[in-house]
């Protein structure tokens, strides 16, 4: 299935840099990172979170790069596998073709999954159908999703203002997230 995904061209006409699926997956993964879509740097590198967002995310999780990029520990399945292009205020939303075509078959094979990290509004809409009305409200309600799911904002530097406005995130949620990741 990974070979099929890597050859996928379902949304090629809509991708400014062409199709280049960027994901990390192994059926033995215990942690799933459900994100939005790879950014341009990740697209160019062919590696998920190969940018400042990835550095911050690894810090939030308390994982080294070696641990983070171990597919038997961490699966990284964005809602869209290819860079969707840029919009007025950041990257465009993930293309819907990936989720509808590939997500369920990949998730069904993660038999050892113990924790799902749900990053951003598109992933939250998919993985948390009972999510609150805003990303902030969903992340603030993180305790109701434990021990299986942890909703997060995107770790992008673009969210520095959000992080400053929500100090509870670093003070309360991150220590619990790091402990849960270590337990897994």
Architecture of domain 2-183: 3-Layer(aba) Sandwich (3.40)
How confident is residue 129, by pLDDT bands cut at 50, 70 and 90?
Answer: confident
Which residues touch 131 (CB under 8 Å, ≥6 apart)? 124, 125, 138, 151
Percent share of the chain, pLDDT over 70? 100
Which residues touch 134 (CB under 8 Å, ≥6 apart)? none
pLDDT > 90? residue 144:
yes
Residue-level pLDDT at 90:
84
How confident is residue 163, by pLDDT bands cut at 50, 70 and 90?
Answer: very high
Residue-level pLDDT at 131:
81
DSSP secondary structure letter of residue 87: E
Residue-level pLDDT at 137:
95
Helix axes 174-183, 52-61, angle to 10 degrees: 70
Instruction: Considering only residues 132 and 4, tell me which one the structure prediction assigns the higher pLDDT.
Output: 4
d(CA 130, CA 29): 25
Provide the residue ranges of all domains of the chain, joining segments of one domain with +.
2-183
Give pLDDT tens digits for 10-57.
999 999 999 999 999 999 999 999 999 999 999 999 999 999 999 999
H-only helix segments in 93-173: 96-98, 104-108, 120-127, 135-140, 160-165, 168
The average confidence (pLDDT) of the chain is 95
pLDDT > 90? residue 133:
no
How confident is residue 143, by pLDDT bands cut at 50, 70 and 90?
Answer: very high
How confident is residue 3, by pLDDT bands cut at 50, 70 and 90?
Answer: very high
pLDDT > 90? residue 89:
no
């Amino acid at each position: 299935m990974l070979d099929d995904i890597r050859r996928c061209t379902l949304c090629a006409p809509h991708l400014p840099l062409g199709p280049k699926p960027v994901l990390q997956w192994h059926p033995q993964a215990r942690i799933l990172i459900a994100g939005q879509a790879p950014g341009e740097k990740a697209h160019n590198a062919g590696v998920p979170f190969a940018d400042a967002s990835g550095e911050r995310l690894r810090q939030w999780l308390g994982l080294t790069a070696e641990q983070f990029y171990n597919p038997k520990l961490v699966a990284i399945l964005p809602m869209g596998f290819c860079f969707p292009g840029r919009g007025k205020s950041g990257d465009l939303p993930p293309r819907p073709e990936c989720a509808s075509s590939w997500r369920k078959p990949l998730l069904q094979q993660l038999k050892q999954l113990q924790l799902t990290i749900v990053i951003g509004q598109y992933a939250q809409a998919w993985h948390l159908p009972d999510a609150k009305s805003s990303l902030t409200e969903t992340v603030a309600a993180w305790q109701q999703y434990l021990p299986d799911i942890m909703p997060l904002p995107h770790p992008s530097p673009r969210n520095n203002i959000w992080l400053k406005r929500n100090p509870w995130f670093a003070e309360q949620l991150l220590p619990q997230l790091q402990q849960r990741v270590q337990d897994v």
